[in-house]
Amino acid sequence: MSQAIQAVETENLSLPPPKKRGNWFWEIIKGSTQAKIGLGVILFFTILGIFAPWIEPYSVHQQSGAVFCAPSAKHWLGCDDGGIDMVSLLIQGGRISLVVGFCATFVAMVLGGGIGIIAGYFGGGTDITLMRITDYFLVIPDVPLMIVLATLFGARLSIIILVIGILLWTGTARIIRAEVKSLRERVYVKRATSLGSSNRRIIFRHILPQVGPLLIANTVLTVAIAIFDETALSFLGLGDPTAITWGKIIEFGFLRTAVSAGAWWAIVPAGICVALVIMGCYWLGQAIEDALNPRLKVAHLSPRTFRLRPLVGRGSDAI
Amino acid sequence: MRGADYVIKRAAFAIATIFVAVTLNFILFRLLPGTAVTNLSRVPHATPALRHALEVEFGLDKPKWQQYVIYLQNLFRGNWGISFANQQPVWSNLKTDLANTIPMVLLGTVVSIIVGMATGIISAWRRGTKLDQVSTNIAIAFYAFPTQWLALVILILFASYLPSHGMSNDFLINPTPWEHFKDVMSHMILPSLTIALTLYGEYTLIVRSAMLETLGEDYVLTARAKGLPQRTIVRRYALRNAMLPTTTLIALSLGYIVAGAILVEAVFSWPGIGLAVYDAIEARDYPMLQGAFLILTVSVVFFNFVADLLYFRLDPRITE
């Protein structure tokens, strides 16, 4: 029992603080199996996406087998309703799904990070106004609003990316703001101010590098939500009709009678790919967050942004 | 006195949020090219005079702010417009849809809360063991599966044993109330199961982390030092305190369930508010979409408010 507690203490204390900029990421990856698996999954699908045109066994625009043909040596995961090879479709779909996920997250991070930093750094009226707006957007449910926006403004990939991005910034803005608020009071920021540094210089030289890791942990978790939301929008018929994504594959499976044809291979693998990427993001984001700040308590904020809090101890008897 | 202050402040925030949503609803649907009249006046021999007469009839000749005031008045009177698809008032359409959605969603939610709490507590209690790892990773997986995909997989697995479509069997002639009830319940199993599975993962993770938090507190250490049995420590000390974040989070997530039902209802053709949204998107039935968006938002805001009140009831410290 006492050994367990001691072990816990040293374990917590020995978490390496991010000393050198840029190095922290590899420290975290090295220190956690969870992070390694997460990064591995994300990299696997990213590489598959980048090299999609060379990897795909068949063209995604041409029939290469019988309609709904079952998995075989020739077609590992069978064919869809148009006789198109499922493996090729999955690789191609992953490519676009990841692009949507990453781009939407980029939009959300620029918006959320920007608003968080401005609100936290300048404080006062700016802070109150921006946080009020954030509060409202945090409460208004994002999926229905996405549906409304996507219905009204049309089904194009760029619009889908914007719509998802615009609605995912709120959680990030809050977390970043809290961090910046405490950073602003640090001595080195005060010194820089007294030396006559401009606000812009302080934000870019001193604040941004400090919130960087937190922003990246958030980015990884947001990618998961963005991909999830893309599949939902696609399923409701609001995706880009010309693009193949994992969401579209699931939608087509549903609309084009894959269920009644018993063609599980046209639906099941796409969902597993989505789940794998989301779990990868979750594991990696979680590991970064735990390493950065073992006391980060965002759990009460909202179910959309909830995260597991770090373990207090490990081992079965370490109550 | 401070407690009353808190409640009033949260209530004011809830009302303000609904107001923002209502305003957003007004603005968004007016950003569309054309107005309600554009389509109506597209008839043979239509003159600008006809168009103008229609605009006056619909109140579109008035300035925007006046249209907004009229829109607000109509909302309060329950006049939410007419559905393009079936020419019925939106409010009466949505009323029946909502009445269909609530029992189905409720059944799934209750099951997921019970199962999620049980697995969460066991995971936290036996943390670090194989059991915990397996249970937590299964929970993360169910948290990660796309809702519509899970619904389809359940459809593939169980559609041959249980009714997979709609809410009742239309070919049941003059059923007794008991027969009708049995029929509806059997239709409810698959969509409710899907809702339960999608939520179960989330609840497990929430309960587990809340339990871990309290298990690390000093009073738990004291209880152990007193030599109390593990069961008592978990039940009387850890669980009671872990209920605080758990109840509020569950209350918060209840608001999102109605929105989450969109995908499930679309797959199982459950005639609820989710299917109404799905059909409204297909038919570009804007009045219905507008009404549904409002209901979904109000439900989220309402449960947010409930969560605030619960938090206040369970932990009076927050007013300090």
- Residue-wise pLDDT for B56-72, tens only, equals 777 777 787 888 888 88
Query: B209–A309: do the CB atoms touch at under 8 Å?
Result: yes
Residue pair A250/A234 in contact by the 8 Å Cβ criterion:
yes
| A260 domain residue, yes or no | yes
The predicted model gives A108-134 an average pLDDT of 89
Query: How many Cα atoms are found within 13 Å in the side-chain-facing hemisphere of B250?
Result: 23
Q: Which positions in chain B touch A224 (Cβ < 8 Å)? A: 144
pLDDT at residue A83 tops 60 = yes
Higher pLDDT, A1 or A172: A172
Nearest CB to B148 within list A135, A235, A311 = A235
Residue pair A56/A91 in contact by the 8 Å Cβ criterion:
yes
| A288 domain residue, yes or no | yes
Residue pair A184/A94 in contact by the 8 Å Cβ criterion:
no
pLDDT at residue B147 tops 80 = yes
What is the least distance, in Å, from the CA of B59 to any CA of chain A? Answer: 22
Instruction: With cut-offs at 50, 70 and 90, classify the pLDDT of residue B320.
Output: low
Query: B263–A235: do the CB atoms touch at under 8 Å?
Result: yes
Task: Please tell me the predicted confidence (pLDDT) of residue A309.
Answer: 28
The predicted model gives B187-194 an average pLDDT of 91
User: For residue A199, what are the CA distances in angstroms to A120, A178, A192, A209?
Assistant: 13, 18, 10, 15
Higher pLDDT, A14 or A36: A36
Q: What is the dihedral of CA B66, B68, B72, B75, to 10 degrees?
A: 120
The predicted model gives A124-150 an average pLDDT of 83
Task: Please tell me the predicted confidence (pLDDT) of residue A221.
Answer: 82
CA distance A226 to A78: 28
Task: Please tell me the predicted confidence (pLDDT) of residue B39.
Answer: 67
pTM: predicted TM-score of the whole model, two decimal places: 0.82
The predicted model gives B48-58 an average pLDDT of 79
pLDDT at residue A126 tops 80 = yes
| Angle ∠(B205,B208,B210) on CA atoms, nearest 5 | 105
Report the residue of A128, A235, A282, A304 to disrupt the B interface, i.e. the one with the largest count of B CBs within 10 Å. Answer: A235
Nearest CB to B148 within list A140, A250, A268 = A250
Query: A267–B152: do the CB atoms touch at under 8 Å?
Result: yes
Residues 6+ apart with CB under 8 A from A230: A97, A100, A101, A104, A160, A164, A239, A245, A246, A247
Arithmetic mean of pLDDT over chain A: 79
What are the φ and ψ backbone dihedral angles of B82, each rounded to 5 degrees?
-110, 135
Residue pair A273/A246 in contact by the 8 Å Cβ criterion:
yes
What is the least distance, in Å, from the CA of B2 to any CA of chain A? Answer: 22
Task: Please tell me the predicted confidence (pLDDT) of residue A260.
Answer: 80
| A108 domain residue, yes or no | yes
Nearest CB to A267 within list B141, B149, B256 = B149
Report residue A145 as tokens: 């609003």
CA distance A229 to A262: 27
The predicted model gives A242-264 an average pLDDT of 85
Task: Please tell me the predicted confidence (pLDDT) of residue B4.
Answer: 79
The closest of B216, B255, B256, B222 to B238, measured between CA atoms, is: B216
pLDDT at residue A109 tops 70 = yes
Q: Quick: pLDDT tens for B10-48.
A: 888 888 888 888 888 888 877 766 666 676 677 777 788
Nearest CB to B146 within list A231, A279, A319 = A231
What is the least distance, in Å, from the CA of A190 to any CA of chain B? Answer: 31
Largest CA distance in chain B: 92
Task: Please tell me the predicted confidence (pLDDT) of residue B36.
Answer: 65
Task: Please tell me the predicted confidence (pLDDT) of residue A299.
Answer: 32
CA distance A217 to A213: 6
User: For residue A196, what are the CA distances in angstroms to A184, A200, A201, B217?
Assistant: 15, 11, 10, 46
CA distance A235 to A242: 14
CA distance B154 to B177: 29
| A208 domain residue, yes or no | yes
CA distance A312 to B214: 9
Residue pair A67/A82 in contact by the 8 Å Cβ criterion:
yes
Task: Please tell me the predicted confidence (pLDDT) of residue A21.
Answer: 58
| A305 domain residue, yes or no | no
Task: Please tell me the predicted confidence (pLDDT) of residue B7.
Answer: 84
The predicted model gives A72-87 an average pLDDT of 82
CA distance A223 to A215: 12
What single-letter DSSP state applies at residue B316?
G
Task: Please tell me the predicted confidence (pLDDT) of residue A296.
Answer: 40
What is the least distance, in Å, from the CA of B177 to any CA of chain A? Answer: 32
Looking up tokens 């869809």, which residue turns up?
Answer: A80
Task: Please tell me the predicted confidence (pLDDT) of residue A312.
Answer: 26
Query: B146–A149: do the CB atoms touch at under 8 Å?
Result: no
The predicted model gives B83-105 an average pLDDT of 85
User: For residue B286, what are the CA distances in angstroms to B28, B29, B32, B267?
Assistant: 11, 8, 11, 22
pLDDT at residue A249 tops 50 = yes
Q: Give the H or E element holding residue B101.
A: helix B90-125
Task: Please tell me the predicted confidence (pLDDT) of residue A272.
Answer: 93
Give the other-Cβ count within 10 Å of A187's Cβ. Answer: 7
Task: Please tell me the predicted confidence (pLDDT) of residue A16.
Answer: 56
Report residue A286 as tokens: 């979680």
Residues 6+ apart with CB under 8 A from A2: none
Instruction: With cut-offs at 50, 70 and 90, classify the pLDDT of residue B115.
Output: very high
| A33 domain residue, yes or no | no
Report residue B109 as tokens: 């939610």
Q: Which positions in chain A touch B209 (Cβ < 8 Å)? A: 299, 308-309
The predicted model gives A151-161 an average pLDDT of 83
Task: Please tell me the predicted confidence (pLDDT) of residue B234.
Answer: 84
Residue pair B113/B250 in contact by the 8 Å Cβ criterion:
yes
| A16 domain residue, yes or no | no
Q: Quick: pLDDT tens for B217-264.
A: 788 888 888 888 888 888 888 888 888 778 877 777 777 777 778 889
Q: pLDDT > 90: what percent of chain B?
A: 11
What are the φ and ψ backbone dihedral angles of A238, each rounded to 5 degrees?
-105, 5
The predicted model gives A67-71 an average pLDDT of 82
Query: A148–B289: do the CB atoms touch at under 8 Å?
Result: yes
CA distance B29 to A57: 45
Q: Which residue of A has its CA nearest to B33?
A: A152
**Size of chain A, expressed as the number of residues it contains:** 319
Task: Please tell me the predicted confidence (pLDDT) of residue B33.
Answer: 65
Instruction: With cut-offs at 50, 70 and 90, classify the pLDDT of residue A15.
Output: low
CA distance A311 to A8: 10
pLDDT at residue A319 tops 70 = no
The closest of A177, A188, A187 to A211, measured between CA atoms, is: A177
Query: B281–A314: do the CB atoms touch at under 8 Å?
Result: no
What are the φ and ψ backbone dihedral angles of B33, each rounded to 5 degrees?
-65, 140
Domain span holding position A134? 46-62+74-293
Q: pLDDT > 90: what percent of chain A?
A: 16
Nearest CB to A228 within list B126, B140, B146 = B146
What is the total count of domains within chain A?
1
The predicted model gives B198-217 an average pLDDT of 84
CA distance B285 to A123: 44
CA distance B215 to B212: 5
Task: Please tell me the predicted confidence (pLDDT) of residue A39.
Answer: 92
Task: Please tell me the predicted confidence (pLDDT) of residue A256.
Answer: 84
**Size of chain B, expressed as the number of residues it contains:** 320
What is the least distance, in Å, from the CA of A153 to any CA of chain B? Answer: 8
ipTM over 0.90: no
What is the least distance, in Å, from the CA of B193 to any CA of chain A? Answer: 18
Q: Quick: pLDDT tens for A281-308.
A: 988 887 887 777 554 433 322 222 333 3
The predicted model gives B95-107 an average pLDDT of 89
Higher pLDDT, A210 or B260: A210
The predicted model gives A225-249 an average pLDDT of 87
**SS3 category, A271:** helix
Question: What region, left, alpha or beta, does residue A66 occupy, with left being phi > 0 and alpha being psi -120 to 50 degrees?
Answer: beta
Task: Please tell me the predicted confidence (pLDDT) of residue A103.
Answer: 94
Candidate ranges B69-78, B100-109, B222-231; pick with highest mean pLDDT:
B100-109
- The CATH number covering residue A160 comes to 1.10.3720.10
The predicted model gives A177-198 an average pLDDT of 85
Residue pair B309/B4 in contact by the 8 Å Cβ criterion:
no
Arithmetic mean of pLDDT over chain B: 83
| A244 domain residue, yes or no | yes
What are the φ and ψ backbone dihedral angles of B203, each rounded to 5 degrees?
-65, -40
